[in-house]
Amino acid sequence: MSAVLLTGSTPTRARFSFEVFPARSGAAALALGHAVQHLSAAGPDFISVTYGANGSNRDASLDLLRYLRDHTDALPLAHLTTVGESREALRETIHRVMDAGVHDFLALRGDPPRGLSEDDPRVAGSLSSLELAELIAEARAERPPLTSVGRTAVAAYPNGHPLSRSRAEDIEWLIAKQEAGAQLAITQLFFRAEEYLSFASDARTAGLAIPILPGLMPVSTSAQLRKVAALAGRPAPEGLEEEIEELGGYAPELGVEHTVALARELLAGGAPSIHLYTFNRHEQVLAVLRELALLTPDPVR
């Protein structure tokens, strides 16, 4: 049975989106161009593009956003981070992105650059993601109405933000970002459906109205799995790392299998969509969508 969402009495097919990051070499850029053509052909709601701490890959991010806008049918969504950036520098970046024809943003505080701690003045004085959402709304208001239409997404943390003291605090912060103009949230990575479903239920009870998209990554290697576990702040599913290691540390089919099972639970539990972290490859995320009956055969050859 294909996954559907219910809107009123009319069943609609579940939706999906992707995340990519700027290439770090010429060869990687060619491979990424090939991948995003496949990803775009799948018909996602959007493709988001990451942005490094302190603007470390700002120009590369903008180039990739332009490529998505000019050479694919996908809607590009620009990540923005505030760490190490002044308010005016951020405002200038927002306008540069809008000038490139991109009006959808993911507002993040971001992690400190390598070598800096949270106590460093260059980090501690950074705008919060809430203040960034407000700044994006201000920047849009400075533009003519026809050129400032767009959405603002924010991050959600089913297993808690590293600096948060409680789930209630995480949810209060998310509701504040909604009031600042956020129209959707995308979660940090997690492994178990209940982690997302219980968080989403508590957020709705507290008054959150915007959709929360669960972020999922089908891993290929045991190294990727360990990285995801570190980001999620939770141990990987028991046995999954061992199974991957038994296959030589590379087992993309197991990553697909785990992600499909997780996505089925999430969609059955009411998740409005799934957001797939691609690691700049199309094969696994498209395999996930096929298994979920959300994708027709890939039209790109």
pLDDT digits (tens, 9 = 90+) for 239-297: 898 999 999 999 999 999 999 999 999 999 999 999 999 999 999 999 999 999 998 66
Is residue 135 within 8 A of residue 143, CB to CB? The reply is no
What phi and psi, each to the nearest 5 degrees, are found at residue 19?
A: -125, 135
pTM of the full structure: 0.90
The two most distant CA atoms of the chain are separated, in Å, by: 58
183 CB-near residues (< 8 Å, 6+ apart):
151, 152, 153, 210
Q: How confident is the model at residue 87 (pLDDT cuts 50, 70, 90)?
A: very high
pLDDT digits (tens, 9 = 90+) for 20-36: 999 988 899 999 999 99
Pairing of strands 4-7, 10-13: antiparallel
Backbone angle region of 110, left / alpha / beta, with phi > 0 → left and psi within -120 to 50 → alpha: left
| Domains assigned to the chain | 13-291 (3.20.20.220)
Tokens linked to 115: 């070598």
